Amino acid sequence: MGWVVLMFSAPLAGIADTGDDLGMPSGPVILTVSGNIKHTNVGSEAQFDRDMLEALPQHSFETSTPWTEGSSHYRGPLMRDLLTRLGAQSDSVHVAALNGYEAEIPVSDFEQYDVMLALQKDQKAIPIREYGPLWVLYPFDHDEALLSEKIRFRAVWQVMHIDVR
């Protein structure tokens, strides 16, 4: 007589059952998103490693920035796509950086412009010492309106946390 083994699965305490699985980070977490989001993977947060962010639809553009020399090619998911993937509902996001800098960014920026969460510069991961690993980056060369001081303060580098308010 053989044994029949039945296995049941239940959500673990602290792990949200989103119905739209984000997956779990298998590498170091480089971004945490919290706040008014529908889809989470660790408690009430969405945590991403590099592979998870690279699995999102990617966008690219070439632009110069006020902080770098010349023009470079940047690649990463658009902020509006990230927020849509998370089921975010908000008029603004609060972005915090590794260096302690914080900025409030209206979601309307993401709808009006192709603002990306840059993962790569010139086909290479962006090192921390060069504004990485994640950079909320505006396509500065694509619209004169983006050359304002107000927009420069919203282009947060060394991003580690986004709070959807």
Q: Which CATH number fits domain 29-164: 1.10.3470.10, 3.90.420.10, 3.40.50.300, 3.90.920.10?
A: 3.90.420.10
What is the DSSP code (8-state) at residue 21? -
**Which of 41, 145, 136, 156 is closest to 80 using CA atoms?**
136
What confidence tier does 162 reach under pLDDT thresholds 50, 70, 90? very high
pLDDT grade for 8, boundaries at 50, 70 and 90? very low
For 13-36, what is each residue's pLDDT tens digit?
Answer: 333 333 468 999 999 999 999 999
> Residue for token digits 């990617």?
58
Q: Average pLDDT, whole number, for the chain?
A: 89
Q: What is the pLDDT of residues 80-93, one digit of tens each?
A: 999 999 999 999 99
What is the pLDDT confidence band of residue 11, given thresholds at 50, 70 and 90?
Answer: very low
Token pair 């984000």 is found at 22
Give the C-alpha distances (Å, rounded to integers) separating 126 from 17, 119, 136, 160: 33, 6, 12, 14
Q: Hey, what are 113's tokens?
A: 């412009």
Rg for the chain, CA atoms, rounded: 18
